[in-house]
Amino acid sequence: MEQSMNESVPDLVARVAAVSPDRPAVRDGQGRVSYRELVEGAARWEAALRRRGVMPGDTVAVCLPRATVTLQAILGIWRIGAVLVPLDPSHPIVRWEFVLADCRARAIVCTEDLAPSLRKACGGTPERGRTDIVTAENLGVDRLSPESSPAPPMAPVDPDSPAYVLYTSGSTGAPKGVRVRHGALAHYVSCAGRLYEGASGPAPWHSPLAFDATVTSLWVPLTHGGEVWPVPGSDPLSGLEGLAKLLTAPVDIGILKITPTHLEALANWLGPEGTPTAITSLVIGGEALRADQVRPWLARSTQIVNEYGPTESTVGVVVAFVAPEHVADGVIPIGRPLPGTEILLCDRNGAVPGPGEPGELCVAGPQLADGYLNRPELTEERFPPHPVRLGERIYRTGDLAVRGRDGELHYVGRIDEQIKFRGQRIEPGEVETVLCGHPGIAQAAVVIHGDRLVAYVVPREGDTALEVQQLTDHLADLLPPALVPQRFLTVRELPVTPNGKLDRSALRGNKP
């Protein structure tokens, strides 16, 4: 399916509905929904939100479970020209408070049970103006039959307008919102649809809406005639458990998007006998992929894709098609850039490193985000001008990579302290800042040990009775679950380098 640069995801979904209106689009606990019903539901959401005063350019937060109504609400928001801000139902209220204030949400779409907590989260900031709390029930969209409200023609969506804002971990202790354009999103799903053989088949939706890897599970199939299968549950673990149950059935899956850590957990749950499920395109992303993690899936999948890309470059910009020889060698590349994407490797001075030498991976092309919401200085730092092409920008990922003799890119590591854990980006500074907000902690450092996030804490003088549950509760009240360490170790002091900086390598070398 070819895509013009002037089209958006809602345009592409509407095109599928026009060509194949009765084709199944979503299958959830309520049954199957056709593309016609999906688009008509989106039109009802559009009309209802317009009646509540939502206008083009407004930000609308969505805190809904994995279900058909969520997809209809998002498409309705985009049909207006409003901006989606996904909220994770598992995040603490203080996280919601920050996001809602930072994005100046005009409305929040949620379930009835979450409405009181979200009303509390958006209160106390009158300078933002009134934030409307809406649900499917109080909008009345569920009380209209499809026949009573045929979908009106959709106004074209400006590809240069923002589609969504996703919040990622921030090194200063506060999350930062990445603003992604409709054109960047459409470019990604169109490229993925052409490269991933299972794009027109079923795709399980098991990950949170606020996780950008979920874009692959939703909008790649829905723009290519595929079918989304929401997995019940509102948090990552319940989604993974539901996915494991799904894979024990003899079903055919078109695309399964998953992180390496969750892929490994899934293989352990399924056991050595594996799964009777046939997977056409197993797309793995979110963190570095090891050969042992992918080995059990070679015989279960027609196509295995290692997809690389930070949120700032719209889900994925570099892909490698994993072959048995990659697994046998134990070296899996991140691959080559998508069509239209340019990858530059730069040393500390911005020059191109020599052959075989690592450099910072920088991205240029149509999938770049607009930058960070309300963070012009950080945007300027991370999205500097293109070194050659006037008027264009690059994104400095902070990842180190080398280019092999065959032209494929290989991930080497980071130039800073950012880490990836279970597919989630974590800035240790954010966790450490919150830890040091506890009255009993003087210093803290966070590192990864194996499959655990570990916090080293130095108690304040005279406070030697730090309880793990107390620390866990403190963090759980302030951070998303993915940022809460699984283990806490009390130490007298943190190791430092000769120049006085925290020596994380020494902590990583100590097995807790």
Who's near 419: CB < 8 A, 6+ residues apart? 425, 426, 428, 447, 448
Q: Do residues 4 and 120 both lie within one domain?
A: yes
Q: Do 152 and 81 share a domain, yes or no?
A: yes
| Residue 84 located in a structural domain | yes
Q: Indicate whether 344 and 375 sit together in one domain.
A: yes
Helix (H, G, I), strand (E, B) or coil at 138: helix
CATH number at residue 361: 2.30.38.10
Q: Is 477 found in the same domain as 354?
A: no
What residue has token string 């609308």?
60
In a domain, 388, yes or no: yes
Of 158, 190, 225, the residue at which a domain comes to its end is 158
Residue 126 CA to its chain's centroid (Å): 30
Domain co-membership, 2 together with 149 = yes
Token duo for residue 59: 């930000």
Q: Which residue is associated with the tokens 């559009």?
A: 46
Residues 361 and 476 in one domain: no
Task: Return contacts of 141-149, CB within 8 angstroms, 24+ apart.
Answer: 141/41, 141/44, 141/45, 141/48, 141/69, 141/72, 142/69, 144/44, 146/36, 146/37, 146/40, 146/41, 149/40, 149/43, 149/44, 149/47
Residue 102, domain member (yes or no): yes
Same domain, 491 and 409: no
- Are residues 433 and 395 located together in one domain of the fold? no
CATH of the domain at 450: 3.30.300.30
Domain membership of residue 65 (yes or no) is: yes
The total of structural domains in the chain comes to 3
Task: Going residue by residue through the chain, which has 512 residues, state the pLDDT in tens, using 9 for 90 and above.
Answer: 444 457 899 999 999 999 999 999 999 888 899 999 999 999 999 999 999 999 999 999 999 999 999 999 999 999 999 999 999 998 899 999 999 999 999 999 999 999 999 999 987 443 445 688 888 777 766 644 444 455 566 778 899 999 999 998 766 667 899 999 999 999 999 999 999 999 999 999 999 999 999 999 999 999 999 999 999 875 555 677 888 888 888 889 999 999 988 888 888 888 777 677 889 999 999 888 889 899 989 988 999 999 999 999 999 999 999 999 999 888 899 999 999 999 999 987 777 787 778 899 999 999 999 999 999 999 999 999 999 899 999 999 999 999 988 889 999 887 877 777 776 778 777 888 788 888 888 888 888 777 788 888 888 876 556 788 888 888 888 888 888 888 888 888 888 766 556 777 778 766 56
- Length of the chain (residues): 512
Helix (H, G, I), strand (E, B) or coil at 164: strand
Residue 451 has which token pair?
């499959």
Does one domain contain both 1 and 82?
A: yes
Q: Give the end of a domain, one of 127, 158, 189.
A: 158
The CATH number covering residue 47 comes to 3.40.50.12780
Last residue of a domain, one of 158, 179, 200: 158
Using CA atoms, how far apart are residues 242 and 238, in angstroms rounded to an integer? 6
127 and 67: one domain?
yes
Which domain covers residue 375, as residue numbers?
340-414
**186: helix, strand or coil:** helix
By three-state DSSP, how is residue 405 classified? coil
Residues 479 and 389 in one domain: no
The DSSP output letter for 174 is: S
Residues 471 and 501 in one domain: yes
What backbone torsions phi and psi does residue 291 show, to the nearest 5 degrees? Answer: -60, -40
